[in-house]
Amino acid sequence: MRVCFKTFGCTLNKFDTLMAERLVSGSGRYVVVDGEDEADIVVVNTCGVKKQTEDRVISYLRRLAENGRVKVVVAGCLPSINLERLVREVRADAVIGPSPGPRIIEVLDRVAAGERVFEPWSGGSSPLVPPADGERRVTEPIGICFGCLDRCAFCATRFARSTLSSVPVEDVVRHVRECLRRGVDKPQVGQEVARRLHRGLRREQAPLPLPPHTGAVRQQQGAEDHAQGTHG
């Protein structure tokens, strides 16, 4: 079966989608395609942090439902932020939480078999999956953390992403090394929380040290640049 991914929202959502695409493609059971017109299943990685984006997501999901030909998997933050509206206004074959990781394959299997999946509370963290052979990328987003440090009353991210958790530094270094080996030029480390840590949590504070992930990635990239210069 053919699967298309559509992403709304932040860099972390885009990272989750990229990792899910690689997991699904690598499973050998599905073919990832670019357009919904080519797909049998469309996975929509949603965002509900801003009302304007939420409205765009709902409108897109309604249009997919009117199509009637494709099966629809709703993932991402919206099920955790405004499940009531989602259930009321949208028809979907599956509703799951953000960062499904390897579970996305199980969900696709169940949907392909005709099962309805309703697990909006499910979620986790996306594993670091390197590019496939032949997948040329100039840049590569590197997820170093999930969740958020803050409890801002105006922001719904805390409901969808929970509290902050970090990816082990050694896992990040291993992933960066593999990405560089496969031709990635610029690994990009930087969820919003990393930038916030660098600026300082409050305006009057001096910037805090960057997370150790950043230095480890720079060190690894510097070693790769040196090796290329030596053998070039």
CATH number at residue 111: 3.40.50.12160
Q: Which residue has the tokens 């997919």?
A: 64
Same domain, 115 and 15: yes
- Contact residues for 108 (Cβ-Cβ < 8 A; gap 6+): 1, 3, 24, 29, 30, 41, 43, 73
Same domain, 194 and 104: no
Residue 133 lies in a domain: no
Q: How many domains does the chain have?
A: 2
Same domain, 88 and 145: no
Same domain, 78 and 29: yes
Q: What is the pLDDT of residue 219?
A: 64
Residue 126 lies in a domain: no
Q: Which residues of the chain have pLDDT under 50?
A: 193-210, 226-232
Q: What is the pLDDT of residue 141?
A: 84
Q: 19: domain range? A: 2-119
SS3 category, 30: coil
Q: What is the pLDDT of residue 228?
A: 45
Same domain, 6 and 114: yes
pTM over cut 0.85: no
Same domain, 9 and 98: yes
Same domain, 37 and 115: yes
Whole-Å CA distances, 77 to 47, 155, 157, 169: 5, 12, 8, 26
Same domain, 46 and 110: yes
pLDDT tens-digit readout, 168-184: 888 888 888 888 888 88
CATH number at residue 209: 3.30.750
Gap between the Cα atoms of 201 and 193, Å rounded: 10
Same domain, 99 and 188: no
Same domain, 89 and 153: no
Same domain, 168 and 79: no
Q: What is the pLDDT of residue 176?
A: 87
